[in-house]
Amino acid sequence: MLEIRNLHKAFGSLEVLKGIDVDLEKGKVLVIIGPSGSGKTTLLRCMNLLELPDQGSMKLSDRKLEFKSGRKLPTREVTELRKRTGMVFQSYNLFPHKTVIENIMEGPVIVQKKDRAAARAHAQELLTKVGLADRGDYYPHQLSGGQQQRVGIARAMAMEPDVLLFDEPTSALDPELVGEVLRVIKQLAQEGRTMVIVTHEMKFAADVADHVILMDGGYIIEQGPPQQVINNPQSPRAQQFMNRIAGEDI
């Protein structure tokens, strides 16, 4: 499903990703954890080319891209890959002047050229799935942060992507709203959706992940099943990180 090899990314003289390899099977959930500045979000953004890698390769389903510093990818290749990924951002990024259902319809109608009536019907189905069936005619400012994030999830799903990408989906939420978003994501995992999730919610990560990657300093320092990486890390640096997280009771 998703195969990344020797991925590098730098911003000026700062090398953020230093040769990353990732494998993700269809229907599985990959969770990426690590300290701030470790490269987690950059890796996620490279997966849908919001950031263009400097070196390496990425294969998603049957499409493979090769990256070289200074080489610009054709717009068509970028567009085709982004159609296969659905991104859920930290800060919702909903269109404030459009209703909830219009936000969800936007991609299928504009990008995929779907019939508006069919797109609306599908959007309503997705709103029901995320527990917001009665909020279609609301505007984003009329919703709580948790509700807006659930709309963001529905919007990403509307494109019917091969993989859903979540960038710290609860980091902007008040603590009492975190649970409603995590429940929706857990439901999607149980349905067999292929997902990559960057998160600091360790209990959630342990519960939902099939595979966990722990990053630090642009490298993957440990990876494996959650019971190993989160509950029984092997490397000294991984143990140090998990002990600190446990001390903060996250």
Q: Residue 250: pLDDT above 50?
A: no
pLDDT of residue 248: 62
Overall pTM > 0.85: yes
Q: Which amino acid is at 207?
A: D
Task: Find the Cα–Cα–Cα–Cα dihedral 41, 43, 44, 46, rounded to 10°.
Answer: 120
Residue appearing with tokens 């390899």: 21
pLDDT of residue 70: 81
pLDDT in tens, 190-224: 999 999 999 998 989 999 999 999 999 999 999 99
Q: Which long-range contacts (CB under 8 A, 24 or more apart) does 170-175 make?
A: 170/199, 170/201, 171/90, 171/200, 172/90, 172/91, 172/92, 172/145, 173/145, 173/146, 173/149, 174/145, 174/146
Other Cβ atoms within 10 Å of 231 Cβ, number: 12
pLDDT in tens, 46-74: 999 999 999 999 999 888 999 998 888 88
Which token pair is 42?
Answer: 């950059």
| Lowest mean pLDDT, pick from 23-37, 47-61, 77-91, 96-110 | 77-91
Question: Which residue stretches of the chain are H helix?
Answer: 40-47, 75-83, 100-110, 116-129, 145-158, 175-190, 202-208, 226-229, 236-247
